A and B are shown apart, each in its own frame.
Chain A
Amino acid sequence: MERVMKDDTIQEKGERARMASFVGAMAIADLVKTTLGPKGMDKILQSTGRGRSVTVTNDGATILKSLHIDNPAAKVLVDISKVQDDEVGDGTTSVVVLAGELLREAEKLVNMKIHPMTIIAGYRMAAECARNALLQRTMDNKGNTDKFRSDLMNIAMTTLSSKILSQDKEYFAELAVDAVLRLKGSTNLESIQILKKPGGSLKDSFLDEGFILDKKIGLGQPKRIENANILVANTAMDTDKVKIYGARVRVDSMTKVADIEAAEKQKMREKVQKIIAHGINCFVNRQLIYNFPEELFADAGILAVEHADFEGIERLALVTGGDIASTFDNPESVKLGHCKLIEEIMIGEDRLIHFSGVAMGQACTIVLRGASEHVLDEAERSLHDALCVLSQTVNDTRVLFGGGWPEMVMAKEVDQLARKTPGKKSHAIDAFSRALQAIPTIIADNAGLDSAELISQLRAEHHKENSTAGIDVITGNVGDMQKRGICEAFKVKQAIILSATEAAEMILRVDEIITCAPRRREDRM
């Protein structure tokens, strides 16, 4: 055959292509499989970059993000995990594992000479059926605030139980729920600040109602201010440049240099005067504050904080209810931020600025303490997952039980659908149900339990109507999920089912892989 493609282009067709994508996708799924569930193990990731920095994590998205993958089908799975992270924040491992299981089942069917399109048709029907089954069994405690709060607590604890924070999950669940409820329905997680300070133990972490800024107070300025009026600003406090293009200073004698310098100084003094005229006693700027204006502020007894990062500024403005100002000509129209008390506090060895008694209660700070950077990083990721799920649940209040309960419910419904459906599709629907059951199996396996025994027990239990049984990994038995308080958010489960099916479908539809030659890097050395 005439060569059509460029050198080094690899073309794989039909069976081979399908095999390559199945193998790739399953390899990825198997990789993260062991991290699933409360007894899932962690992975150490070492970067190839300089410093060989190490990450210890159990978060599917984080693991997959850091892998260099060459197999195109595997990339599809990595992608769905990333999207899951962006969209709902949790379930990043489950979605990959489910997609992997679906493909594993599909491979068997393909070997039985069932056309991939038939499998896809079956999977689609099964996914729709599974979703409806979940929809019918959701619980919604929107009206009842107390119950809803306990739902949230349960969800947070379930999410956290598979992470490093599982030892203190009740404590952290409390933290997360408090933080999210303060948001009052907004999903903007930026207003929850997470500060990491090495030292102490995880138990020493706390939620602060106010706002903590990781900055020091300037020298000679008051360390404690009560009833503070805060001006949040984003302005240059070094030399205010003239921005008209092409302007430059050109002088012919030393005295003139001195004059201009004085003028500049005068300008800065005026600016500071204007700022002070707002009647403030605290000034927070995003940009640098030079020594000279800082000194002026100190003279006026004003606390000046420089170089707060942009997010910090936005958060502070949000918390204190002030504007972010950049010009200071009309003080009457600038909204100042207020708080009851500003003081310097010590966490570990670091001194931080603490704003308490703020006007708007929306934002808060969670201070994480822990033995090492790695622990803190992982704790932050876990907490982030919990916060994401909670904030999504606040908007979509439907809740499901956890511990493999939803999978079993769906598997049961899908099984029934398979029996009703004539034609080859029913094999695919059957396969879908097996893939669903694989998830509780993996959870049990990871916990070192006898999965075959447990799953069959669980299935028998689910044969009854309205069963609430699931796997209790702690005791190693089938237990009542309602009593144990193991809950998951409906939105997360739905996203897992839909995107895993979508990804499996995409990979199944492929019958040819064309890999172009990698772009050669030109050696410029």
Chain B
Amino acid sequence: MALAFDEFGRPFIILREQEKKSRLQGLDAQKANIAAGKSVARILRTSLGPKGMDKMLQSPDGDVTITNDGATILELMDVDNQIAKLMVELSRSQDYDIGDGTTGVVVMAGSLLEQAEKLLERGIHPIRVAEGYEMASRIAFDHLERISTKFEFSATDIEPLVQTCMTTLSSKIVSRCKRALAEIAVKAVLAVADLERKDVNLDLIKVEGKVGGKLEDTELVHGIIVDKDMSHPQMPKRIEDAHIAILTCPFEPPKPKTKHKVDIDTVEKFQTLRGQEQKYFDEMVQKCKDVGATLVICQWGFDDEANHLLMHRNLPAVRWVGGVELELIAIATGGRIVPRFQELSTEKLGKAGLVREKSFGTTKDRMLYIEKCANSRAVTIFIRGGNKMMIEETKRSLHDALCVARNLIINNSIVYGGGSAEISCSIAVEAAADRHAGVEQYAIRSFADALDAIPLALAENSGLPPIDTLTVVKSQHVKESNPHCGIDCNDVGTNDMKEQNVFETLIGKQQQILLATQVVKMILKIDDVITPSEY
């Protein structure tokens, strides 16, 4: 342990309470870290690909989640080990950046670590391994660029986009109706996309779920769905050509923020105060009426009296609408959020062609549809499904699909899927390795081996003999110099991914390789782990 002696031979302590901490150093530390990283990767390995299995996770509170989304599994796993936490982070950053390939990135990092372990055992310095990996990742990165193809689509020809989204969805439980969902995702993204600036604001796509019905009932609504109903049961359930006042102020007398008191000491004061109050309510409603609003959406509640007045004046209202929803409504209807009644004016009203309330099932569930909005850019995907877990999983899957569609709009380069890109990179890296003199050559070669892990896992999950399949495909790559060959997971009969229409985005793949390499480098550089053993 960290114990040092001064010139008189007396020991002094460097680490406080060192006996209470456990410490790993040198090769041991690296091996322990690698083992932790690998074990995380091993959990996710079986979830890869269209035939990947799901994981069932029970949270500390007893809620059950069933998913095969890598990022979600890791997030809910309640990981304790620091290195394992790094892997969780890795998956999460892939999720934030690209939205898809969260499982692949972890599997790749795990296999890189596995290869690194072998190199370390042969006495190669971890830094040299890291440098070799870095070089190899650059080679792979450039190679991906080379084998990528531009991918043509336009707002009218969405078929290619749908195909890509279907690849993403095919590994999820929703694969039963992947076609329909892929179309929904693509239409949603195109609705909010700015094709000229190549920008997509996914915030404009709201994903709502409601238990019940079939997955096939999932629909794309050009407008907003709010999980609220009209404040008064007798208000109209359907409003056409609605002019919407979006308010963040309550239908109540003002509450000045400064401390104050109103003292009532005479009967007159009591009566005037009462009169004023009544007038106040009246004016508020009148104000809304005056600017021509036919629907009031309010962030706050209002009391029964105001509610009745609104109802009375034929002004339907919705109360307790959340802030985010309010913003979306404002964007969709082209209205402005009004914080004070005084500022209400006709220009600030939002417009929607149709607002209707829809009820579901046998319980008292109602939702408000705001459709045919002035600004048609905001859309909602409304998911139905047999149970809560199904809906949650569908939400996650759709999120992946949306991200893929977005990435394609931002950058329309693609590489072929089914492990073909990895195999192709692996061959390229292998070939490049020989040109590097020095220890790094070994690391680069290992990197090539590590890349094979993804097609291997794909084949294994699909019930194919992994090594046989991989070698066949690899030789095909070299012989026919066809970089589109991959693993035939669905037993279609061909392993040309171009024919199968299986592709992934270029940036997604590139990001996977870069992120995985970075994390592995970071883990390799650690040579001392100090943990407080009891806390």
Which residues does A use to contact B, with CB under 8 Å?
1-7, 9, 17, 21, 70, 72-73, 75-76, 79-80, 82-83, 85-89, 115-117, 124, 187-190, 234-235, 240, 242-252, 256, 259-260, 262-264, 267, 314, 317-318, 323-327, 329-330, 333-334, 388, 391-392, 498-499, 502-503, 505-506, 509-519
Report chain A residues within 8 Å CB of B311: 323-324
Report chain B residues within 8 Å CB of A250: 263-265
Residues B277 and A242 in contact, CB atoms below 8 Å apart? yes
Choice from A2, A187, A317 contacting B35 with Cβ under 8 Å: A2
Residues A6 and B78 in contact, CB atoms below 8 Å apart? yes
Q: Which residue on A lies nearest to B77, using beta carbons?
A: A514
Q: Which residue on A lies nearest to B314, using beta carbons?
A: A333
Residues B362 and A246 in contact, CB atoms below 8 Å apart? no
Report chain B residues within 8 Å CB of A334: 312
| B71-107 to A contact mask, C-beta < 8 Å, 1/0 | 0010011111100100000000000000000000000
Given that A4-B80, A333-B312 are contacting pairs, would A513 and B55 also be in contact in the complex, using a CB cutoff of 8 Å?
Answer: yes
Residues B270 and A263 in contact, CB atoms below 8 Å apart? yes
Report chain B residues within 8 Å CB of A76: 64, 66, 387, 389
**How many angstroms between the C-alpha atoms of A128 and B361 in the bound complex?**
23
Report chain B residues within 8 Å CB of A262: 267
Residues B308 and A510 in contact, CB atoms below 8 Å apart? no
Residues B387 and A79 in contact, CB atoms below 8 Å apart? yes
Residues A515 and B273 in contact, CB atoms below 8 Å apart? no
| B169-189 to A contact mask, C-beta < 8 Å, 1/0 | 000010010000000000000
Residues B386 and A503 in contact, CB atoms below 8 Å apart? yes
| B407 shortest CB reach to chain A, Å | 27
14 new A-B contacts, CB < 8 A, other than A3-B80, A249-B264, are: A4-B40, A72-B58, A187-B362, A240-B274, A243-B253, A318-B233, A327-B308, A498-B214, A509-B54, A509-B66, A512-B43, A513-B55, A516-B57, A516-B59
| B205-227 to A contact mask, C-beta < 8 Å, 1/0 | 00000011111000000000000
Report chain B residues within 8 Å CB of A499: 386-387
Interface flag for B234 (CB, 8 Å): yes
Given that A83-B387, A498-B386 are contacting pairs, would A75 and B64 also be in contact in the complex, using a CB cutoff of 8 Å?
Answer: yes
Residues A514 and B57 in contact, CB atoms below 8 Å apart? yes
Residues B66 and A506 in contact, CB atoms below 8 Å apart? yes
Residues A244 and B212 in contact, CB atoms below 8 Å apart? no
**How many angstroms between the C-alpha atoms of A264 and B270 in the bound complex?**
9
Choice from B54, B60, B387 contacting A510 with Cβ under 8 Å: B54
Residues A327 and B57 in contact, CB atoms below 8 Å apart? no
Report chain A residues within 8 Å CB of B270: 242, 249, 260, 263-264
Choice from A89, A267, A324 contacting B362 with Cβ under 8 Å: A89
Given that A1-B35, A117-B51, A324-B308 are contacting pairs, would A244 and B276 also be in contact in the complex, using a CB cutoff of 8 Å?
Answer: yes
7 closest pairs, A vs B, by CB? A326-B308, A511-B53, A519-B60, A499-B386, A509-B54, A247-B262, A502-B386
Residues B211 and A246 in contact, CB atoms below 8 Å apart? no
Residues of B within 8 Å of A, CB-based: how many?
Answer: 82
Choice from A243, A327, A329, A516 contacting B78 with Cβ under 8 Å: A516
Query: Of the 9-residue stretches B299-307, B425-433, B514-522, which lies at the interface with chain A?
Result: B299-307
Residues A4 and B39 in contact, CB atoms below 8 Å apart? yes
Interface of B is mostly: mixed
**How many angstroms between the C-alpha atoms of A75 and B308 in the bound complex?**
43
Report chain A residues within 8 Å CB of B59: 516
| B340-370 to A contact mask, C-beta < 8 Å, 1/0 | 0000000000000000000111111100000
Given that A188-B359, A323-B234, A510-B54 are contacting pairs, would A243 and B260 also be in contact in the complex, using a CB cutoff of 8 Å?
Answer: no
Report chain B residues within 8 Å CB of A75: 62, 64
Interface flag for B388 (CB, 8 Å): yes
Given that A245-B255, A260-B270, A518-B62 are contacting pairs, would A235 and B305 also be in contact in the complex, using a CB cutoff of 8 Å?
Answer: yes
Report chain B residues within 8 Å CB of A85: 362
**How many angstroms between the C-alpha atoms of A252 and B211 in the bound complex?**
61
Given that A72-B58, A326-B307, A514-B77 are contacting pairs, would A243 and B312 also be in contact in the complex, using a CB cutoff of 8 Å?
Answer: no
Residues B387 and A246 in contact, CB atoms below 8 Å apart? no
Given that A187-B362, A263-B271 are contacting pairs, would A509 and B386 also be in contact in the complex, using a CB cutoff of 8 Å?
Answer: no
Report chain B residues within 8 Å CB of A243: 252-253, 277, 303
Interface flag for B533 (CB, 8 Å): no
A and B contact pairs by CB, cutoff 8 A, 26 listed: A2-B36, A4-B81, A21-B56, A72-B57, A72-B64, A75-B64, A79-B388, A188-B359, A234-B304, A242-B270, A243-B253, A244-B273, A245-B256, A246-B259, A263-B270, A314-B233, A324-B232, A326-B308, A498-B214, A509-B54, A510-B54, A511-B54, A514-B55, A515-B58, A516-B58, A516-B60
**How many angstroms between the C-alpha atoms of A3 and B360 in the bound complex?**
47
Most buried by B among A83, A317, A391: A83
Report chain A residues within 8 Å CB of B46: 511-512
Interface flag for B463 (CB, 8 Å): yes
Interface flag for B385 (CB, 8 Å): yes
Report chain B residues within 8 Å CB of A318: 233
| A471 shortest CB reach to chain B, Å | 28
Residues A4 and B36 in contact, CB atoms below 8 Å apart? yes
Report chain A residues within 8 Å CB of B215: 502
| B258-300 to A contact mask, C-beta < 8 Å, 1/0 | 0111111111001101101110000000000000000000000
Q: Which residue on A lies nearest to B31, using beta carbons?
A: A2
| A18 shortest CB reach to chain B, Å | 9
Residues A506 and B58 in contact, CB atoms below 8 Å apart? no
